Chain A
Amino acid sequence: EAAVTQSPRNKVTVTGGNVTLSCRQTNSHNYMYWYRQDTGHGLRLIHYSYGAGNLQIGDVPDGYKATRTTQEDFFLLLELASPSQTSLYFCASRGGDYAEQFFGPGTRLTVL
C-alpha cells in the first residue's frame, strides 16, 4: 500500500509568518504534488515535481514556493503568509503518467 505522510497536521500562524509544510512518500514515485482544497473550488494545483531538484508551476502558485529535496520529500513554503492562504493542503504522489495519485491525510493551515 502506497504511503504518503504530511506534517504538521494542523498549523496556526499569523499574517506575515513563515510556514513550511512537509510531505514524504515511501512509494518510490517520481511525481509529487501540492494541492489546496477550499469549499467551492475543489482541489487546486499549487506546484508539482517529477523528481529531486525539479519543480513545475501549478495553477495557483502565487505566494507559494516549493522544493523537492529528495525523491521522497517535497516541501511547500509560505514565506509571508496571508489570511487568503488559510486552507486544507494535500500532498500526493504518483508513479507514472496514467497512474493514480496517492494522497496524504492533509494539513489544515490557519493564517490569522
Chain B
Amino acid sequence: GDSVTQTEGQVALSEEDFLTIHCNYSASGYPALFWYVQYPGEGPQFLFRASRDKEKGSSRGFEATYNKEATSFHLQKASVQESDSAVYYCALSGTGGYKVVFGSGTRLLVSP
C-alpha cells in the first residue's frame, strides 16, 4: 500500500539556519503530496500541497518541490525562527482515492 517515510525524527537548529526535512513516498501514479504542521496542544494544520511533477508548494517561507523520479517532497526553509518549532508531517493522498497517509513526523527545535 501507499506509504510515506520521514527519516529525521528530530531536527535541532539555531535561528537563521537552513532547514531541510526529508520526505519520500511510495505510491502509484500521481498522488497529491502535503505538508502539515502541528503545534503543542493542537491538531495538525495544512501548510501546502503539490499534485504534479515539478510543482512547488509553499507557505510561510516553507517550500517543497514534487519530484516524481526521486519520489520525494522535501520541506525546506531558508532561515528558521524559534516560532517554527513544531512537528512537521508529510502526507499523501493516492490517485483516485480519498485515503490520506501520513509519515511519522519530524520534530523541529529551533533555539534562539
A90 touches B44 (CB 8 A): yes
A101 touches B46 (CB 8 A): yes
Q: A45 — which chain B residues lie within 8 A by C-beta?
A: 99-102
B100 touches A41 (CB 8 A): no
Could you tell me the distance between the alpha carbons of A33 and B44 in the complex, rounded to whole angstroms?
13
Q: Which of B74-106 contact A (CB under 8 A)?
A: 89, 91, 93, 96-105
Interface centre among A33, A59, A105 (most CB of B within 10 A): A59
A97 touches B93 (CB 8 A): yes
Is B43 at the interface (CB under 8 A from chain A)? Answer: yes
Q: Which of A39-84 contact B (CB under 8 A)?
A: 40-45, 48, 50, 56, 58-59
A50 with B98, Cβ < 8 A, contacts A43-B44, A98-B49 known: yes
Q: A33 — which chain B residues lie within 8 A by C-beta?
A: 100
B43 touches A103 (CB 8 A): yes
Q: Which of B18-55 contact A (CB under 8 A)?
A: 32, 34, 36, 42-46, 49, 51
Q: Looking at the complex, which one of A40, A56, A90, A97 makes contact with B32 (CB distance below 8 Å)?
A: A97
Closest to B101 in A: A45
Could you tell me the distance between the alpha carbons of A92 and B43 in the complex, rounded to whole angstroms?
9
A94 touches B100 (CB 8 A): yes
A41 with B51, Cβ < 8 A, contacts A101-B46, A103-B45 known: no
A100 touches B98 (CB 8 A): no
A43 touches B51 (CB 8 A): no
- Chain A nearest Cβ from B93, distance in angstroms: 6
A residues in contact (CB < 8 Å) with B: 4, 31, 33, 35, 40-45, 48, 50, 56, 58-59, 90, 92, 94, 97-98, 100-106
B residues in contact (CB < 8 Å) with A: 1, 6, 9, 32, 34, 36, 42-46, 49, 51, 89, 91, 93, 96-105
List 10 additional contacts besides A43-B44, A98-B49, A102-B46; criterion CB under 8 Å: A43-B102, A43-B105, A45-B102, A48-B99, A59-B101, A90-B44, A97-B93, A100-B46, A103-B43, A106-B43
